Each structure stands twice: as structure tokens, then as C-alpha cells.
Amino acid sequence: MSKLKKLNLNIRSSNPTDNTLMEIKSLRDINYSELGVVSQEDIDKLIRIENDVKFHEEKTKEHLFKFSKAIFEANEVFANNKSGSFGKWTELLGISRDTANTAVRRYQFYLEMQGTLREPERILELPVRIIKEFTGIKKESFDEAEVLEVLEAENPTEILKRIKETKEEEKLSDKSNLREFLLKEKERKQNLIDKLAEEIKEIEENLKQIDDELYRQTRLTV
């Protein structure tokens, strides 16, 4: 089964135009009466909308997959020709540079995770922020276990936030430890300076005393 076919999860069974859906059911077994909807007519309408939303959600994933793949392949063509005109090409199509770059990153990430992630198709659902975190300069700050934890989570945004907060706390902890060390080192150096200052003062007093004695002796011999 191709990757694209794997993406079309229940698209036929979710198609609101499918005649087999004359008697549709809630996809999530939602109890609408608990949500304050008691009219059967309204419940039936919400269930139809529920199925319609699911259908278009799946079609959106499919279109995003095709879009990202197309932009990725176009980028490869321009890269192979070393023309450097990929950005200009996307602008001529009315696609922003950021949108195009995100599409390239998303599909590249999808390819990279195929042998690691159980459901690499989930990458198509990731927010742009997560795609940029795991494919840009910052990706080196995450290990494979953290990446998988985010990608396989029900709420990847929350998991990524928690991981980043933990890293920040560790960083601050390291800085706090460093600050404490530096303060102690400063105090130790300052004590050395104070001690040396006292020794220098004592030497200067001895030198002055010697100079005074030499001066007196010189006066006596004149």
C-alpha cells in the first residue's frame, strides 16, 4: 500500500456525499444530550457536520501531503540545476517563501522519519512551529527520544513546551551553579588581593623606615 493511500484514512466512509451515510453515526460516540443539545433534528445535523468535518480534515491532510511533496520535488529540481531560482519560482506561483520552505521541511522530515516513526503521516498534522523546531538550527538541541515523544503524543505542542521548559530550567540551574561558583571564586580572589595589599603595605612601610634611617645616616656623615 502506498504512503498516499495510507493517508486516505476512512475518506470514503466519511464522505458526506456517500449514499451509504443515510444513517450516519457520531464518529466519536458523542453524547450530544450531555452537551445541552436535546432536539433530535439538531443532533442529526451536528452528526452530519461532524462527518463532514472529518471528511474535509482527511482531504486537507491528503492535499497538504501532495502540496509538500510537489514543492519538495520542485526544490530538488532547482537545486540540481544550481539556478538558485526556487524562491523566485514560488513567488511567481503566489506562494510565500516561508510557506514553501515549510513545505520542503515538512516533506523532508516526513521522509527522514519513515523508518523511525510508527505513523510518519502524523507529521502532516504538526503545527508549523514544531516543523521548524525539528528541522532548523534548533533541532540539534533535541535527542531522538524527545523527538519521538513529541511526534507520538496526542498533544505534541504541549509535550514540546514541557520539554523546552525542562531544558530551560536545566540551563538556568547550570547558570545558577556557575554564578555561585564565580561568586565564590571572586571572593577567594578578593581575599588574595586584600592579603597581598596588606603585604605590599607592610613592605612599603619597611622601605620607608629603611629610607628614613639611610637619610639620617647620610645627614650625620656630612
- pLDDT (tens digit, 9 = 90+) per residue, 50-68? 999 989 888 888 898 899 9
The answer, yes or no, to whether residue 78 has pLDDT greater than 60, is: yes
Tell me the per-residue pLDDT of 128-176, one tens digit each, with 9 for 90 and over: 999 999 998 878 889 889 999 999 888 999 999 999 999 888 877 777 7
In the predicted model, is pLDDT for residue 87 greater than 50? yes
pLDDT of 159: 93
Question: Where is 208: in which H helix or E strand?
Answer: helix 156-221
Q: What is the pLDDT of residue 96?
A: 93
CA 101 to chain centre: 16
Q: The whole model's pTM is what?
A: 0.58
Residue with cell 516533506: 107
Under the banding of pLDDT at 50, 70 and 90, the label for residue 3 is very low
pLDDT at 15: 52
Distance from CA of residue 45 to its chain's centroid?
39
Tell me the three state secondary structure of residue 56: helix
Helices (H), 82-143: 86-92, 97-113, 128-135
% of the chain residues with pLDDT over 90? 41
Query: Stretch 96-123: mean pLDDT, rounded?
Result: 90
Amino acid identity for residue 203 in this structure: I
Q: Which residues neighbour 62 within 8 Å (Cβ) at sequence distance 6 or greater?
A: 4, 7, 8, 11
Which burial class, exposed, middle or buried, applies to 173 when counting CB atoms under 10 A from its CB (0-12, 13-18, 19+)?
exposed
Work out whether the CA dihedral 115, 118, 121, 125 comes out positive or negative: negative
Q: How confident is the model at residue 34 (pLDDT cuts 50, 70, 90)?
A: confident
Question: Do residues 71 and 104 touch, judged by C-beta distance below 8 A?
Answer: yes
The runs of H, that is alpha helices, within 137-155 are 144-151
Give 106's pLDDT tier (boundaries 50, 70, 90). Answer: very high
* Mean pLDDT to the nearest integer, 202-217: 88
Most confidently modeled of 6-10, 70-74, 134-138? Answer: 70-74
**d(C-alpha 148, C-alpha 144), whole Å:** 6
Q: Could you give the CA distance from residue 181 to residue 172 in angstroms, rounded to a whole number?
A: 14
Q: Which of 97-101, 122-126, 191-195 has the lowest mean pLDDT?
A: 122-126
Q: Residue 17: pLDDT above 70?
A: no
Q: Is 197 left (phi over 0), alpha (psi -120 to 50) or beta?
A: alpha
Cβ atoms within 10 Å of 206's Cβ, excluding its own: 10
